[in-house]
Amino acid sequence: MGVFSRQRFFQELAHGCLLPTAQQGLEQVWQLLVICLVCRLLWMLGLPSFVKHLCTVAGGFYTLYLFFELHMIWVVLLSLLCYLFLFLCRHSTIRGTFLSITVLIYLLLGELHMMDTTNWHKMRGSQMVVAMKAISLAFDLDRGVVTNVPSPIEFMGYIYFVGTVIFGPWISFNSYKEALEGRKMSLRWLLKVSVSWVKSQICLVVSNCVAPYLFPYFIPVYGDKLLRSKKRRKIRGSLAKWLLAYENTTSFHFSNYFVGYLSETTATLAGAGFTEEKENLKWDLSASKPLNIEFPRSMVEVVTSWNVPMSRFLHTYVFKSALKFGTFTAIMVTYIASALLHGLSFHLGAVLISLGFITYVEHVLRRRLAAIFNACVLSRKCPPSCSHQNKKKLWVYMINIAFSALALLHLTYLGSVFNSSVDYMEEDEDDITHHTIQKWSELSWTSHWATFGCWILYRLIL
């Protein structure tokens, strides 16, 4: 959309952005939704288990072809490599670690040598889901959660489960087997699917049509000043730079929520994503928690709410495995593993490694403050039965609000590197590196300096 007056902008918004965005979103995924529903109906027919596995493999293959065409072969090769490794090492007790290394090497070689960066990055989401599924299965076999190596058709059914193969989320092997049991359709199931779909479309519209124009049109902080400028970046005020960074961050956040809610839709539609307690079935799959991110208590809460299934995967299979080397080492190994799974992208790696330091310093500082003041100021909200004496005093709220404000600053700063221009730089890593450094330089490296200051404060009160 071009530069309009505020009145003209709102007149053009509906047919110039809102409707085309929603229409394009539906056109891209309607076949995936239909395949998920068909598979869901097949699970309920009481077919033999191997037939159900074959159906989900067929559905997954067709879906991969719809989105990636013949480039899907690289996803297939990764799955074959993973099963070959699991079969050859079926008597080992450290399959998880070795398969993790093998998968990361494959992903790195694929990005560097096997094909062009643009097409590889298009498949990055599916590659990550396949990698996480295979790695989690290997660790579950080591820990006895899964007793035997699945048959080839079971493994491929899990890997290519149509509800998760494109957008995720990660689900465990046991969750996949439960999905194939074909639970009865219910009003709660239909409501979950519908609500997740509507939320995904709202987030898509906000990401494309609201967030990029947040301050010049929706919240006119500068009046018409931003509109009169041919290039909004000519406004050099410090506040303007942070407002523009916040626009980029908000757009990036809602694009993530879109994918998260869409993954909830596809997984639930295909029959996964439920918990069962005393014959009470709850369709409660949650891929992300936007309110915990947009109104954060802490950065720790942000990273665990950004992608809930992936956070659970990293905590269960990476953090816990590395915890024997110390908390700081385990945190950094977790973020490095996440960065490698996301691919060799400087801005992603820089953000994730920065998050590692930010969350660690925040965690230890707030833990120390909680001990000194005997107050509920930890990174995570205390349960009602906690032993802290100071829970609801004004100064306790003020400390928590201060850390929430700091978390918003971190989010705006880190998210400033994600905007539409980065998508056109994917083939030139030097441009992405320069873009990231330039963005953070414009914001005076504020987040990194704030983290260093918090670490100094922690060391002084230790």
Helix ranges (H only) for 47-186 are 49-68, 73-88, 95-109, 117-122, 124-143, 152-159, 173-179
53, 253, 342, 410: the catalytic one is 342
* Rounded-to-integer distance, Cα 104 and Cα 120, Å: 14
Query: What tokens were used for 363?
Result: 């965690």
DSSP element (H, E) containing 187: helix 187-205
* Rounded-to-integer distance, Cα 233 and Cα 268, Å: 43
Closest CA to 335 of 316, 305, 315, 321: 315
* Rounded-to-integer distance, Cα 404 and Cα 410, Å: 10
Asked whether the beta carbons of 170 and 136 are under 8 A apart, the reply is: yes
Asked whether the beta carbons of 8 and 216 are under 8 A apart, the reply is: no
Asked whether the beta carbons of 439 and 416 are under 8 A apart, the reply is: yes
DSSP element (H, E) containing 314: helix 308-314
Asked whether the beta carbons of 381 and 310 are under 8 A apart, the reply is: no
Q: Is 71 a catalytic residue?
A: no
CA distance to 29, 244, 417, 437, per residue, from 238 (Å): 41, 10, 17, 17
The four Cα atoms 62, 64, 65, 69 give a dihedral, to 10 degrees, of 180
The four Cα atoms 300, 304, 305, 307 give a dihedral, to 10 degrees, of 140
Locate tokens 């498949």: which residue? 123
Residues with a catalytic annotation lie at: 342
